[in-house]
Structure formats: structure tokens, C-alpha cells
Structure 1
Amino acid sequence: MRILTEKSIYRIRERLGELYGEDNAPRLAQRFSVLADRYARALRARYQPDKPLWDEQDVLLITYGDMVHTAGEPPLLTLRRFLAQRLKDCVRIVHILPFFPYSSDEGFSVIDYRQVDPALGTWHDIQTIGQDFDLMFDLVLNHASSQSEWFRHFSNGIAPYRDYFIVVEPDTDLGSVVRPRTSPLLTPTQTPSGERHVWTTFSADQVDLNFHSDDVLFEFLDILLLYIQNGARIIRLDAIAYLWKEIGTSCINLPQTHEVVKLLRDVLDVLAPDVLLLTETNLPHEQNISYFGQGDEARMVYQFSLPPLLLHALYAGTTRYLSAWAAALADPPPGCCFLNFTASHDGIGVRPLEGLVPENEVERMVHGVRQRGGHVSSYTAADGREVPYELNITWYAALSDPDHPDSDEHIARFLCSQAVMLALKGIPAVYFHSLTACPNDEAGVKRSGHPRSINRKRWNAGELNALLDNPNTPTARVFAEYGRLLRLRARHPAFHPDGPQRVLELPDGVFAIERVSPDGSERILCLSNLTAVEQAIEAAGLDGEPADVGWHDLITGESIAADADGGFRLRPYQTLWLTTPVAL
């Protein structure tokens, strides 16, 4: 494992100087050395130098700590048992969404960053899950709870906390600020010096932290290392794009924010080089991938454009925009990769479609989500307009036929969407409710008053296991086939995150890519019919192969040969994973 060398300290000192001024850099570099020494032994003990960054067996599960629960048992224990019994052979990484004491936003308004919510369990329970799976933790560093001790000390004027939060005069011109909410940007609060107005990007309960204070930065460096000490392999930087504020700017994607990400990456490269940094930036594609930097920022970036592009393709029956986007994707820098997903605990972002799909077609997609019981959240654009920001609906419900839910076609359409995601270059991330074919939880929305609750149902373990044990339920059918696809994918190095990807030109409605293993030993053609009609594929035109070539479909295990017309057919919503052809 690396140690603090003069070179590494110099690089971190340079970053600190960029953020806080050269005069403060020596003092802050020394402060970092003291912090690093405190965690050195624990970090050295957990380091696995021979472990690759990632491979084709990596699949990430997104779940809340209490996604499954049993009366009288800490939910983290119930979750561990469910994971061990049902998913150990097809999932390698578990993202346990914020498991800290919180006051709102289902965990993303953190009261105490260093404790596990007693309602969920203990640090030992987290570490026990980590014995069987790699773990991903959230670093919620843009804001903290108004009920936190930090904010209480701020309100009482106690140092250093009196500088932990951003205070702005209420008559300040903040018209340039871009944010994903329409609630008031400033929230009044009482302090010893009278009423002050604090910055609240997301809600009055989520008070933005002041990274102009180096004390705030070092608070989070300590928390970061604590999380790694407790088993985190991936650190997700929540809402990172909004971190740094400068009056008169958009306060999104500022250079100082990128500098903080680079600093965090430097810290990991020095102290925990096997720990991966993931940025959560639900923004237009070019802004999103900017967090790779020059290979010196995030190791991983969400593929935020994928879910809405895929949903649009399935609604409209055209792969025009999805294929064009995929064909234009640049490879991530070396040592970086995409995190592919279709659903998460949040909704389906709309902003990542900007510049990719015409606005009128986006509007039709939004209408389709509403037809299926979904909600639409808005944000305030720079010009003051309120425009769609997020579609709140479960992915399974989003792909339903409103008149015939849970039909064979509905399940086929859903599984087709997942097969597309699994085939793309990168690491796949699967939301718990996608595995369980979860319908919209409208009762949850009514209880909480928040549209995102539609996609955050908590399962009673007995109820869920009963559904999974009945092979005729949609839950069991989806879970079984999804698990089979995950296990199949893990056996093929062509799906390695670093393996090349190429988009093939096939009839509109068919999304087709070629995947090749990093060493060139395996090649797979992945074809998905995203329409409700049969699609004819010319075998002679399939990537230039002659018609008298036989293919093997990994998904069905069957051979695929050209018919009398010199081609073959894809059923509605069918996916084929075809291995390298051999002469008949």
C-alpha cells in the first residue's frame, strides 16, 4: 500500500492551495498528514493490492437498509439474510442507501454522519454484509440536516460550526442559481446575532454546507476515511454538482467543485487506492461526464442519459436517438468506467435528454409516464421557467400496458430493457424494485406526501418470499429470469467494463451493439427488439458476416441460422446475445 510521500503530500498541498489560498496550504497539508496517520493502520489492514478495479462479474444492487424487514429483527440483519439466500450468486456490490440517523428525504438529510441509524442496526451489521459483498456508501456532503448537532451549534454561534453553513442576505440577487427544486432557496433561522438566512438547495431541512470553510472539508475527509475503515469499497458523492457556491454564478459544476473531487480522488489514490469514487450528477450528458476530469476525478460516473433514452425508445418504438447516443459515446479515461442503470431510489431524470431528444418527443414520453400512474417533478431553469426534472414511477410500472398490467408482453418488455442495460459497456447497477417487478406504491406517496415514495416501497420479508416462491407471480418470473441473465453475463469476459463497444446499424427499432473482451478472445453481438412487432434481420448484413454462418444465442442456448429468406426474426421485445459465428 502507498504511504504519504513528499510527492503525494505536495499534490494534495497544491489542491488545498487552489481551494483555500497558498498562504493556508502548508498548515492544511500538515493537518492532512495528521489525519492520514490516524487512519493509516486500519486502511493498511483492509487494502487488497491484487484486486482488480472491476471485471465482468461486477453487478451492483441499490437498496435501502430496510428494503426488506421482519418484525422484531433489525432490518440490516433481514437484508443480509435475503441477500445471502437470494442474490449471493449474481450480485457482487451492495449500495446501502444512507443508513445514518436522518430527519427527511429518506436518509439524505443526515443528522449524524458517523452513526448507523439504530432503527436499522449497527456498524457491525454493515460490516457483516461486507463479508459477502463489496459495499457502497453515500457521502452526503452538499447539505446536512437542520436537526443535526452541527446546525444546532451553528444556530448558537459556536465555533467552528458557525462557519459550517452558507449565510446570505435575503435581498441578494440569486437569479443565476440553477437547482433541481422550486422550494425557497433561502431559509430563515434564528442565531445569537439575529435572524439569518441559510442556503437550502433541496429543502428547508437540508441546509447547504459551506466548503469555503476548510473545517468543513476536513470534517468530510475524516468521515470519508471512517467509511472506508468500516468497509466501503465505493464512495458515492451525492449531489456533488451543487457543492461550491459563488454569488453571481449558476452555483453548479463550478471549477472549485471539480477541484474538491480531484482532492478526494488524490486522497483515495494515496491512502486507499482500491476504493472507487462515484459522482452523482443528474445533468445533461456532457456535464455529467465532465466529472471524469482527465482521469483525475471520479473513477465512475452514472450513465444518466440511459434510462430516459431507453424509456423513450420503448414508448416510441424507435432506436434512433438511443443508438445515436450510444454510437457517439467516447470511452472513459483509462481507469474509469460508466455505471449503467435504468432505475434507482430516485426517479428517471429528464435533464439528461437535453440535446439528445426533441422537446416535443420528451413531452410525449412524460405524458406516457402520467398515463401509467407516474408523477412529474419540476425544477427552475436559468430563465425562470419550471420544466420537467424527474419522472417518479417504478421502472416496471413505466413499461406496463395500462390496460393489461403484468401481461407476458409487459414482462418481456421489462426484461428487454434490462438486457440492453446489462450489455452496455460499464458496470450494471440494479435497483431492488427492478428485481422484484414492483408496481407503483401510491399508498407510500399518500403517506409521505413526496412523489419519490412511489418507487421506495418497503417489503415485508414474508410477503416478498411468498411471491418469490410462487413461480406464477410477476415478481417470481422477473426475479428468476433477471437473476439468470446476471449469472450468464458474469461468465463472459466480453462484458468486462473495459471491453470495447461498437453500435451496429440494424433496422430502426432494433438496438444492437458488439462487445469484445479486453484481450480480444470473445465477441458477442447483443440485439434487442424494442418494438411490439417482429423484426427481420438480414443475416448477410449482420456485421458483414456471410449468410451461411451459424450463431449461438447465449440467452436461449439455441443455434440461430438464416431462414429461406437469408435472415432471421426477432420477436417483439426479444434479446439475443450472439457469440462469434462459426461456419456451418
Structure 2
Amino acid sequence: MSELLDNLKHKLQQQLEVIYDGITLNRSYDKLSDELIALMRLNDEIQQPGFFQNNWDEGDVILITYGDSVIRDNEHPLKTLRKFMDKYFGNTINSVHILPFFPYSSDDGFSVIDYSSVNEALGDWKDIENIAGDRRLMADLVINHCSSRSAWFQNFIRGEGPGSDYFFTASPDDDLSQVVRPRTSPLLRETETARGLEHVWCTFSHDQVDFDFRNPDVLLAFVSIIRQYLDSGVRIFRMDAVAFLWKIVGTTSINLMQTHEIIRLLRSLIEHAQPDAVIITETNIPNTQNLTYFGNANEAHAIYNFSLPPLLVNTLITGNCLYLKRWLMSMPPAQNGTTYFNFIASHDGIGLRPAEGLLSDEEISTLINTMKQFGGRISWRTTESGEQKAYEMNIALFDALQGTTAGPDKWGLERFICAHAIMLGLEGIPGIYIHSMLGTANDYEKLKNTHHNRAINRKRWDYDMLTMELGSKFNHHQKVLNRMKQLIDIRTRQKAFHPNAIQFTLHLGLQLFGFWRQSMDRRQSIFCISNITDEPQILRMGELNLTVTDTWRDLITDTKISDPMEEVTLQPYQTVWLANS
């Protein structure tokens, strides 16, 4: 055994001891670590990880899309998606997150029936591999739960075969009062099995049955899945709902120590198999809890910046950046080997839990009411005390930014572009939902047909219809696409926009939101300043202390700054990126 492999095995054994402490297993830690190494084929193909290595740069932008967000008659959607991305995004966007592309029974893919197959309605593994050959591919590891229609759960009901002991059960008499829930449905699902009536733990819905990671066979099953995904070209793993992975009756059953250790163990395996692979944890929880998933640069490479969407939308509808600025000042810079995953729209809604402690109850109430005025819907959760509380706002971002708290206005497009200009400048890797690239509005028809609030922002475009829309100068879809591509093309050429480049928050009042970025070689500086109001605002350049010996230029308008001490008027929702090179 090589020294590298020997060291990895020792590390895995230590991690397994932490995870399964107090649990009687049917094999030794030595045996279990050997099984994990064999499943990942590390006996033959082990590689040296690049510790504290940034596997990303300023050129990385991730498109978020369903496999069938764009469809065409008589063509597999994954083929259509690839053609669409090639035609309209080209080299502008180099990475893509295809949301769950597996057979599923509900939740638009997140109730997985079979992790090893591609949904036949979308295409096959060859289609996935072709996309991975063009762009860096991000895929979901739906690790907390699977479909109640899966073979594993059917074996659980029968009491035999793989899956028969994969699922977490509890008793209705257990103390479950502290369990943190993201939904209002009952936690336990009654299920008749060969052993009698069982009560299966369901964090999200009764069609999404939770795994029991106390059984090491569950861990082995997911390591096998990870190996398959790596072989098919996946290089970024989105660990879905991972905060809920480990359960202990009588606790909150969220963010438990064992959950963090499992992430560390999976990272140990992945980075020795594919050193440039990236793990992103999806943990829609309060900001301080979310930050813990960096660990000591040994857990997630990146974490979803869940607080950004509600804070940024709140800023732009109120014309006041106090809360956004306060939050940005509190965010620790990500150390090398870690970064933030920034987004402001996704297939889900705008989460409100990440705004807890950052926005007051009054601010959240105003935000909710404004989104409802713009056609949005609200999803609810049950708190530990049994109270119903708003969990998420479901609305297309284009509609969410159509106006202010005073109502709709003429500045919707500019406000929408301003939101993305801010996001694209921030420390971290930007992720952009396909419907934000297209300026897609609320899909009330899909909402009506499915009765699921999240469907409002999950439109399925017909390829030919969309091509016609994007070919017209007279609608907003083409305008949005062109302006978004312009911003991205500018961003990806700037060293100061590296995800780990230095960032400081500027103090320019409450109507101008600004921050400063500096490249890691300290050669390039960019001042990112946005007017977040519907009135013109004066930017006094002298307050920025621009180095007078440098030549300064606004990258967005390609305009030279003739006098670094002058006053400049920023039009409503205008952003400038002032760079010295």
C-alpha cells in the first residue's frame, strides 16, 4: 500500500469512528474503510489532493437549469438544451448545473426513484457526458432522501434486499418537538411493512423518505453513486438538503456533528479520486449556521450564499441598502480552497430563513407583501413551537423586481440588471438561473396545473417559440439576454473578480451600494457601485480615493474617468465597475 493510500485509510478510519461512535456495526472500521476505498477505485487510481487550492477563477459562471427547461418536438430535451446553450451562451457561460436528471416521482426531480439512471424523458448518460465535455457539469447528490417509489423503499416495505434497512424510522411517542422542519406536513409517515406498521421519517414530504445513515450500507451506496457520477463527467457535486442528513430523536436533527463529519469523509474520498472536483452544500438555513459548512476548509469547497437573494431583493424594492451592507460587512472572506456560491434566483423560491436575524420581522413582512403584490406565492413551514411561519417566497425574479414597495414602475428591467451587476461583482462564484438569462416571468399556467407554489418559476420554454422571442428587438427577453451576456463577458475577463479576490464594503450612504475588489496579485482594483433607488444619485469620486496615477475606466460603459475627483450622476439602478486596468 502506498503512503498516500495508507494515510487516506487512516484518515477514513478516524472519520468513521466519529460518525459511528456509540453505534454497533456489523464490520470493523478497517473493513469499512477498505470498502470505501475499493468503491472509489482508489487502490489503483488515487491522486494527491491540492490542499487549499482554488479549483475556480474569474471565468467561472454556472448556469442553473432543468434538463427540460427548453424543449423541442421529437428531440430529447438534453440534446435541445445543449444546442440552446451552444447557440445563445457560447463561451459566455462555462459551467452548467443540470437539476436532478434522474427518474423521479415528485418535487420536479428531487424525489429520486433511481440514482443510477437518466430519466428517459430527458435523454441518456451519453447526453450527460456530451454536455460534460462542453461545460463543467454540476449535478445534484440528493443525499437526504429518495422517492417512496424507489426500489430501495419497496424493499424496505418487503423487508428484504438492498434498501430494506436504509430508512429512518421513529415512534409517534418519541419526543420530536425540537425537530426543525422546512415544511408543514407531518414528520412521520405510516407505512405497512412485512414487519408491521412503521413510521418513516420524512423531512420534506411523504413521497420523500429519509435515509438512515446510522447504517453504513447507506454511506457505501452513496459512495458508489458518487463514483458513477465522476465517471460520467460530473465535477461539481451539489449536496442537496444535506443539513438534515443525520437524525437523533430528542434533538433538532439539523446540522448535527455527524452530518459535518460525513461531508468531510466524502470530501476525503472525492478529492483523492478527482482533485479538481468541487463540493457545494445546499443548506437553506440561517446565515451563521450556513457558514459552518466550510469547516476548517475541509468540508464544502463552496456554500450557497442563501442570504443574498432576500437581502438584495429587499434592497432594490426599498431603495435602502442598510441591511445588505451590514450583512456584507459581517461575511468572513473565504480562505483559499473555499468560496461562496452566489445566486439570486433558482428553481426554488427566495428563502426567508437565511434572512432571519438579518432583516427585522417588519422588513420581512413588507418584503412578503410586496412579492404577493407582484404575483408571488408564499410557502410555509412549521416551527418548533408549532407556529406556521413563512419559509419561502415563490416568484420569478423578473417579476419580483418589477417595482418597489410603492408598486410596479417603469424601472423593472434596469432594476433586474442592477441586481445581477451587484451579484456578479461579489466575492464568490456566480450561479445564474436560466430564466434570469431569459427574463422569464411568473408562469401562472404551470402554477394552476400543478398547484405547487414553486412551479411559478419553473417554466418550460418551447425552443422554436423562445428562438422567435430572442430574435425580436421589441420584447424584453432579447434585451435581458444581451445585457446579461455583456455583464458576464466583462466580469470573466477581470482578475479582480476572482472568487477569492479581496473585498471591502464601501460606505457611500444608503442609496448607493458599493464594494471594492482587488486581484490577488494586487495589480487590478475595481470599485463596484450601484444606485439602488429609482432617483438619480450623485457619486463623489473623491470619496473613493482613486489613485491619481492610474487610469480609471467604467468597464460597463467603457468610459474613461477624466477626473478622479469629479462628481458623477448615477441614473436609477445604474451600476459602474470602476477599474484601473
For normalisation by structure 1, the TM-score amounts to: 0.94
Q: Note the C-alpha offset of 1:383.
A: 2.1
Alpha carbons of structure 1 residues 36 and 566: separation in structure 2 relative to 1, 3 Å: closer
Does the 8 Å CA contact 1:539/1:545 hold for their aligned counterparts? Answer: no
Residue of structure 1 in register with 2:264 after alignment: 262
Q: Note the C-alpha offset of 1:422.
A: 0.1
Q: Note the C-alpha offset of 1:52.
A: 6.0
Residue of structure 2 in register with 1:535 after alignment: 537
Q: Note the C-alpha offset of 1:507.
A: 2.1
Residue of structure 2 in register with 1:557 after alignment: 558
Q: Note the C-alpha offset of 1:404.
A: 12
Distance 2:93 2:36 in 1: 36
Which residue of the other structure, out of 122, 125, 143, is the alignment partner of 1:123? 125
Residue of structure 2 in register with 1:419 after alignment: 421
What residue identity is the alignment partner of 1:66? D
What residue identity is the alignment partner of 1:140? V
Structure 2 counterpart SS, 1:163 = coil
Does the 8 Å CA contact 2:318/2:405 hold for their aligned counterparts? Answer: no
> What percent of counterpart residues are identical?
42
Structure 1 counterpart SS, 2:533 = coil
Residue of structure 1 in register with 2:7 after alignment: 7
Q: Deviations over 1:468-526 (max 9, x none)?
A: 11122100000001001101111111101111001111021111111111111111111
Q: Note the C-alpha offset of 1:193.
A: 1.8
Match runs of 1:100-119 below 5 Å: 100-119=102-121
Residue of structure 2 in register with 1:333 after alignment: 335
Residue of structure 2 in register with 1:434 after alignment: 436
Residue of structure 1 in register with 2:389 after alignment: 387
Q: Deviations over 1:143-174 (max 9, x none)?
A: 01000000000000014422101111222221
Alpha carbons of structure 1 residues 207 and 373: separation in structure 2 relative to 1, 3 Å: same
What residue identity is the alignment partner of 1:500? I
Match runs of 1:179-328 below 5 Å: 179-328=181-330
Residue of structure 1 in register with 2:465 after alignment: 463
Does the 8 Å CA contact 1:294/1:333 hold for their aligned counterparts? Answer: no
Distance 1:320 1:545 in 2: 27
Does the 8 Å CA contact 2:550/2:580 hold for their aligned counterparts? Answer: no
Distance 2:84 2:234 in 1: 20
Alpha carbons of structure 1 residues 81 and 40: separation in structure 2 relative to 1, 3 Å: farther
Q: Note the C-alpha offset of 1:405.
A: 10
Distance 1:277 1:481 in 2: 30
Q: Note the C-alpha offset of 1:20.
A: 2.2
Structure 2 counterpart SS, 1:5 = helix
Q: Note the C-alpha offset of 1:334.
A: 2.2
Question: Structure 1, unaligned stretches of length 5 or more?
Answer: none
Which residue of the other structure, out of 133, 141, 144, is the alignment partner of 1:142? 144
Is 1:571 matched up with 2:571?
Answer: yes
Q: Note the C-alpha offset of 1:269.
A: 2.1
Q: Note the C-alpha offset of 1:3.
A: 8.6
Alpha carbons of structure 1 residues 6 and 403: separation in structure 2 relative to 1, 3 Å: closer
Distance 1:74 1:378 in 2: 35
What residue identity is the alignment partner of 2:200? V
Q: Note the C-alpha offset of 1:350.
A: 0.5
Match runs of 1:162-177 below 5 Å: 162-177=164-179
Distance 1:342 1:212 in 2: 35
Q: Report how many residues are paired.
A: 574
Q: Note the C-alpha offset of 1:39.
A: 8.8
Match runs of 1:498-509 below 5 Å: 498-509=500-511
Q: Report runs of 4+ in structure 1 exceeding 4 Å deviation.
A: 38-41, 402-408
Alpha carbons of structure 1 residues 404 and 478: separation in structure 2 relative to 1, 3 Å: farther
Q: Deviations over 1:408-439 (max 9, x none)?
A: 52110100000000000111000000001010
Q: Deviations over 1:89-120 (max 9, x none)?
A: 21111000000000000000000000000000
Structure 2 counterpart SS, 1:278 = strand
What residue identity is the alignment partner of 2:99? L
Distance 2:368 2:407 in 1: 19
Which residue of the other structure, out of 494, 512, 528, is the alignment partner of 1:492? 494
Distance 2:489 2:409 in 1: 25
Alpha carbons of structure 1 residues 380 and 428: separation in structure 2 relative to 1, 3 Å: same
For normalisation by structure 2, the TM-score amounts to: 0.95
What residue identity is the alignment partner of 2:15? R
Alpha carbons of structure 1 residues 460 and 367: separation in structure 2 relative to 1, 3 Å: same
Distance 2:50 2:123 in 1: 27
Alpha carbons of structure 1 residues 48 and 128: separation in structure 2 relative to 1, 3 Å: farther
